[in-house]
Amino acid sequence: KAGVTQTPRYLIKTRGQQVTLSCSPISGHRSVSWYQQTPGQGLQFLFEYFSETQRNKGNFPGRFSGRQFSNSRSEMNVSTLELGDSALYLCASSLDRGLASNEQFFGPGTRLTVL
Amino acid sequence: DQQVKQNSPSLSVQEGRISILNCDYTNSMFDYFLWYKKYPAEGPTFLISISSIKDKNEDGRFTVFLNKSAKHLSLHIVPSQPGDSAVYFCAAKAGGGNKLTFGTGTQLKVEL
């Protein structure tokens, strides 16, 4: 079974631009979550999508948005990029059987650098 | 507001000895706790978890202990192996959904 895939793996953008990152979950997984990892703030939750609906949202500005498609693939978008958006963006998928023990499987991440 | 804290940024242990990684939390609503391991250039990998109704969970060389009254959990690795060298993250969940709140991580180095 293929794992969680994220594209692209590396991305360089300039301030003010916008970027779209893609995540393909493990086949059959309906929940997709996004996290931002930075040296200063660690791993921070951005949002979670389940059956095409945003189920949870972290404390990030409205420049960060996401969506999920009917095949569970997800994209996240960051508009008006700032230098501080430089980070590793991680996607995680889960089968989500409504249990607290739903295991989340992480992709390798997209390394975004904003110049 | 760091709701999950790992106060030791790094830990060095000899091969074969016990590694103990600690984690503290402040949010009483957390009811499920997890440990993840992360290598550079890879996403975190799930290691072990524990529900708030338990105080211990064991899986092979890994044991997680939860002390709810102290809002503290720890991960024990016995015996430690060089391949265990990685960054370990403690994470917590509250209620439904899959939102994880992570600690800042502890870099474990297992030396020969």
> pLDDT (tens digit, 9 = 90+) per residue, B8-63?
999 999 999 999 999 999 999 999 999 999 998 889 999 999 999 999 999 999 99
> pLDDT (tens digit, 9 = 90+) per residue, A87-96?
999 999 998 7
Residues in CB range of B64: below 8 A, 6 or more apart: B33, B35, B48, B49, B50, B56, B57, B58, B73, B74, B75, B76
Contact B49 A102 (CB under 8 A): no
> pLDDT (tens digit, 9 = 90+) per residue, B60-96?
999 999 999 999 999 999 999 999 999 999 999 998 7
DSSP code per residue over A89-115:
EEEEEE---S-TT--EEE---EEEEE-
In this predicted structure, what is the pLDDT of residue A101?
67
Q: Name the residue among A1, A3, A7 with its Cα closest to residue A111.
A: A7
**Most A CBs within 10 Å: which of B3, B98, B102, as the mutation test of the A interface?**
B98
Chain B residues in contact with A98 (beta carbon < 8 A): 96
pLDDT over 80 at A99, yes or no = no
Asked if the C-beta of B1 comes within 8 angstroms of chain A's C-beta atoms, the answer is no
Q: Are B12 and B109 in contact (CB under 8 A)?
A: yes
Of chain B, the end-to-end C-alpha distance in Å amounts to: 38
Asked if the C-beta of A66 comes within 8 angstroms of chain B's C-beta atoms, the answer is no
